[in-house]
Amino acid sequence: MNTKLVTLLLSTVLTLGACSSATKKEARDDSASSMLPGNYSSVKAVGNYHASRLTGDYAGYQSTKKFIRKMERQYGFERSYLYGLFSQADRREGVLRIMNRYTGVKGPVSRGAWSRYRKKFLNEGRIAKGAAFWARNRHALQRAEQKYGVPAEYIVAIIGVETLYGGNVGRSPVFDSIATIAFDYPRRSKYFTDELEQYLLMSREERFDPRSKRGSYAGAMGLGQFMPSSFRKYAVDFNGDGRRNLWDPSDAIGSVANYFKSYGWRRGEGVAVRATHSGDRYKTMESGFDSSHSLGSLKRAGVRASAPVSSSNVSLLRFSTYSGDELWLGKHNFYVITRYNHSNRYAMAVYQLAQAVKQRYRSMRYAYRDSAAEGGS
């Protein structure tokens, strides 16, 4: 669900960059046909769908017919295939109910909002499972860190916050969910119609039946909850089996790291530094991940970093706890984390979970070494 808000920006800000290796591989595997514009007609979409007209939940929908015509003209999908596929689509009322609960309008931050949010992600279960996930996938994490420059703990933390390390990847049919929002939820229709287009292209390139995948209620897939457009741009085959599979831990690890690298993650730089404040002058300063202040101006407002900061400019981050505001200074990499989900709290939870899991993983390894040294039984 996280990437859905981001992806509109992605398509304009970035073109295929770091993930081109996977794309090239796909093109080779398909004997050069599937990736070439204008030559789509030779590529078969997967699934036994045939119909001469649109029936079912979307029978009377002009928007669905228009979409089908576009997929036919622009990408060479067969009309009978799409009629068959969309005639079987289920309009999901449950998805619309969830969408209607989120108005998208943010109210004032209530006291303790951060304390409540933090508790959901910074708890014993999520920390312990994170260390175990790290141990199981340490080789892939090490490779991802070397190749993309993103430390293992941030990759682990994203996957931990998104899906509890794959324990909760969602059970909604992706095709039905995205189609429902695209055709029945006007406020997000544009975005989800684009995602539906990306999803059908993805299913053809990756050779799967569009109705076979499950994900979040909004169509986010796999351990890192990628939307289809993010999948096509940033997913990588990281275990070398020739397929990009976001349900595979190794591929998910490489893909999350590639996502961050593509958004400008700076190798070796930190993410955030805790700050102290005297007085209330900081309240007049702009805050949030896209604010930018010099350390000097922060100091004049009574805000001081509690550890050395090398960046010239940082963002001022305010989090409401039950005992008042907690302040942090966000570095460039904090902003990069918010490209996954445009939320200060989300990125701070990822940052703090990363630190906690890293500490746990280290102590686990020491404990293991100690027991091995004592005789290894």
Catalytic residues: 162
Q: Considering the complex, what minimum distance in angstroms separates the CB of residue 155 from Ca ion?
A: 16
Cβ proximity to Ca ion: between 71 and 159 the closer is 159
Closest to Ca ion by CB, 150 vs 253, is 253
Binding residues for Ca ion, rule CB under 5 A, total 6
**Does position 321 bind Ca ion by CB under 5 A?**
no
Nearer to Ca ion by C-beta: 250 or 320? Answer: 250
Among 251, 282, 333, 356, binds Ca ion (CB under 5 A): 251
Residues in 16-75 that interact with Ca ion by CB under 5 A:
none
Binding Ca ion (rule: CB under 5 A), the pick from 237, 327, 333, 358 is: 237
**Cβ-based nearer residue to Ca ion, 184 or 237:** 237
Stretch that binds Ca ion, among 163-171, 195-203, 231-239, 339-347 (CB under 5 A): 231-239
- Which of 185, 208 has the CB closer to Ca ion? 208
Q: Please, which contacts does 17-24 make with residues 24 or more away whose CB atoms are closer than 8 Å?
A: 17/262, 18/148, 18/234, 18/258, 18/261, 18/262, 19/233, 19/234, 19/235, 19/236, 19/258, 19/262, 21/236, 22/235, 22/236, 22/237, 22/244
| Stretch in the footprint of Ca ion (CB under 5 A) among 71-79, 85-93, 243-251, 359-367 | 243-251
**Residue of closest CB approach to Ca ion:** 237
Among 9, 33, 44, 241, binds Ca ion (CB under 5 A): 241
Among positions 80, 239, 321, 343, the unique one binding Ca ion when judged by CB under 5 A: 239
- Residue 240: CB minimum distance to Ca ion, A: 7
Residues in contact with Ca ion by the rule CB under 5 A: 237, 239, 241, 243, 245, 251
